[in-house]
């Protein structure tokens, strides 16, 4: 009885609870039902928290032997020798960061362009279908990107882009080291481009959504002052949505850091440290996917799980940052 009254008042705090006296019998059965149902729902919610904590804990425990054996230098060494059981995470970490940064360099301007096109340029009847098409791009499974990358994009890079880069930028004094080596088509540049393509729809969707949150009074007054569409975007829309736009970019970065299949196909899985973006390399996710079933010693397996823990921690930080920024605009817009 008491619980029913309490929960009624929780659901609608501003109103007095309806009298439950005529239905006393029903109410006691209802109270039991509420106890069971509410309890189940609460357990399910706690389970969500448990999953996140479980991921962190399980990968930490699984990776502990590697952390204990190699110490803090695990993240700073380039060795990766399954025979000698000597492992360092620097090459995959470097590969993860470089491919993710490359992908963002490509994805952010394109996503920004798409968001401007959808909110400012496209006529109404066109904006809907194009928006849906871009979202389709986000729906394609990442393994399809990987296959397309391996069979179509890698040969394209090897035949056209890599030789041209090596012949032009590769000749430069310092920068040249980034573009040296044989044109295999595999490597961090190819992986970065494919990741960029994958991330574009996520970032574009966030930007499009936050751009529509700008109060029309702000936009209209800028137009009334004679501003062009681009000036409205640059001087009114973008400053208003800045934190959320950065949040969307970090959301995309979180995706790019953890993406596995698309990069596994095109990175080449090489653990040798190489500055060149055109040389085969590896990333954390690609190393785990490629080598997990081949790991023949406990140390090897533990090193791979330790890589997973590092990846989880890094993406967790990036995603928390992204969400906090996005929440700020949501509050500002009064949602």
Partner 1 sequence: MSAPRPLLRGRRKAVNALALGLASFATLLGLVVLVWILGTTLIHGAAALGPHLITQMTPPPGAAGGLANAIFGSTLLVLVAVLVGAPIGVLAGTHLAEYGRAGPFAELVRFVNDILLSAPSVVIGLFVYQIVVRPSGHFSGWAGAVALGFILLPVVVRTTDETMRLVPISLREATLALGAPKWRMITQVIYPAARVGILTGLLLGIARISGETAPLLFTALNNQYWSMDLGHPLANVPVVIFQFALSPYDSWHSLAWAGALLLTVFVLVVSVLARTLLRGRTN
Give CA 15 to chain center in angstroms: 43
Backbone angles phi, psi at 225, to 5 degrees: -80, 0
Judged by CB under 8 A, which of 278, 288, 303, 329 binds partner 1? 288
Encoded tokens for 308: 């997973």
Judged by CB under 8 A, which of 82, 113, 163, 176 binds partner 1? 113
Encoded tokens for 134: 């871009």
The 3-state secondary structure of 277-296 reads CCCCECCHHHHHHHHHHHCC
Q: Closer to partner 1 by CB, 105 or 143: give it.
A: 143
What is residue 74's DSSP assignment?
G
Position 116 contacts partner 1 (CB under 8 A): yes
Q: Closer to partner 1 by CB, 166 or 249: give it.
A: 249
- Min dist CB 153 to partner 1, Å, is 9
Q: Closer to partner 1 by CB, 48 or 83: give it.
A: 48
Judged by CB under 8 A, which of 68, 121, 175, 298 binds partner 1? 121
Q: Closer to partner 1 by CB, 181 or 258: give it.
A: 258
Query: Rule CB under 8 A: which of 27-46 touch partner 1?
Result: 27, 29-31, 33-34, 36-38, 40-45
Query: Rule CB under 8 A: which of 138-167 touch partner 1?
Result: 139-148, 150-152
> CA angle 304-308-311, nearest 5°?
135
> CA angle 113-118-119, nearest 5°?
100
| Number of residues this chain uses to bind partner 1 (CB under 8 A) | 109
Position 86 contacts partner 1 (CB under 8 A): no
Q: Closer to partner 1 by CB, 162 or 259: give it.
A: 259
Residues paired with residue 335 on neighbouring β-strands, in sequence order: none
Q: How far apart are CA 75 and CA 94, in angstroms?
A: 10
């Amino acid at each position: 009885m008491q619980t029913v009254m309490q929960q009624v008042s929780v659901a609608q705090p501003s109103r007095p609870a309806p009298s439950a006296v005529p239905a006393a019998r029903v109410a006691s059965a209802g109270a039991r039902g509420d106890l069971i149902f509410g309890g189940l729902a609460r357990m399910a919610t706690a389970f969500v928290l448990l999953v996140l904590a479980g991921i962190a804990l399980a990968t930490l425990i699984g990776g502990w032997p590697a952390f204990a054996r190699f110490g803090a230098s695990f993240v700073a060494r380039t060795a990766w020798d399954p025979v000698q059981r000597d492992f360092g995470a620097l090459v995959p970490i470097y590969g993860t960061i470089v491919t993710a940064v490359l992908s963002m360099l490509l994805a952010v301007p394109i996503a920004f362009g798409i968001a401007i096109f959808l909110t400012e340029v496209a006529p109404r009847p066109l904006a809907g279908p194009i928006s849906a098409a871009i979202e389709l791009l986000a729906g394609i499974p990442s393994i399809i990107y990987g296959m397309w990358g391996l069979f179509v994009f890698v040969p394209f890079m090897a035949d056209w882009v890599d030789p041209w880069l090596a012949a032009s930028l590769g000749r430069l004094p310092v920068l040249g080291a980034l573009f040296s080596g044989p044109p295999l088509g595999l490597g961090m540049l190819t992986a970065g481009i494919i990741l960029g393509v994958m991330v574009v729809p996520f970032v574009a969707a966030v930007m499009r959504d936050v751009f529509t949150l700008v109060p029309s009074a702000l936009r209209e007054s800028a137009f009334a002052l004679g501003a062009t569409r681009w000036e409205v975007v640059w001087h009114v829309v973008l400053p208003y949505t800045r934190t959320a736009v950065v949040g969307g970019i970090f959301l995309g970065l979180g995706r790019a850091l953890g993406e596995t299949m698309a990069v596994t196909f095109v990175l080449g899985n090489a653990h040798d440290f190489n500055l060149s973006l055109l040389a085969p390399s590896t990333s954390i996710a690609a190393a785990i996917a490629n080598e997990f079933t081949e790991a023949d010693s406990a140390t090897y397996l533990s090193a791979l799980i330790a890589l997973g823990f590092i990846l989880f921690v890094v993406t967790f930080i990036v995603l928390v940052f992204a969400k906090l920024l996005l929440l700020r605009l949501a509050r500002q817009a009064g949602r």
